[in-house]
Amino acid sequence: MVEVLVPTEIGPDYAPPASPRVERLRDSLVAIRRYDTCSERALLVTESYKETEGQPYIIRRAKAFDKLLRNMTIFILDDELIVGHRASMRKGVPFCPEIDVDWIEKELNNRERDSLSGSCPTCIEFLTGLRRT
């Protein structure tokens, strides 16, 4: 029989103690102070949409998704049990041009006021040409 430990005082502020693995995950995530922009997804989707020009929209979306699954950077970090990231880095923010691009210009204009950095060398080059393509 499995013994289930039930705390005697459960309230809204109760949280069970974290395991060493969870502590390591938390510490490594908190240590990263800034989010980083990741253009990898946007570049792959844009490339796919150029390759499938003239095809039905649903086919273009499917082929773009296929290209993402085949080409996105895959990384699995130590201590993770559930893996997978939408960007090519731990605290990366992917751009999704097939969904919406209007927010990107406003977001880039606010760089000095928030903690999202743009160290990805192709981000600005890609985004400035986005409206022209």
DSSP string, 74-95: ----TT-SS---SSSSTTEEE-
pLDDT tens for 63-110 read 999 999 999 988 888 898 988 888 887 777 777 777 766 666 666 666
Burial class (CB within 10 angstroms; exposed 0-12, middle 13-18, buried 19+) of 91: middle
Angle in degrees, CA 133, 36, 106, rounded to 5: 50
36 within 8 A of 120, measured Cβ to Cβ: yes
pTM for this predicted structure: 0.62
Give the per-residue pLDDT at 112: 57
Q: Is residue 116 situated within a structural domain?
A: yes
DSSP 107: H
Q: Which domain holds residue 82?
A: 20-130
Cα Dmax for the chain: 66
Q: Is residue 109 situated within a structural domain?
A: yes
Q: Is residue 8 situated within a structural domain?
A: no
Q: How many domains does the chain have?
A: 1
46 within 8 A of 127, measured Cβ to Cβ: no
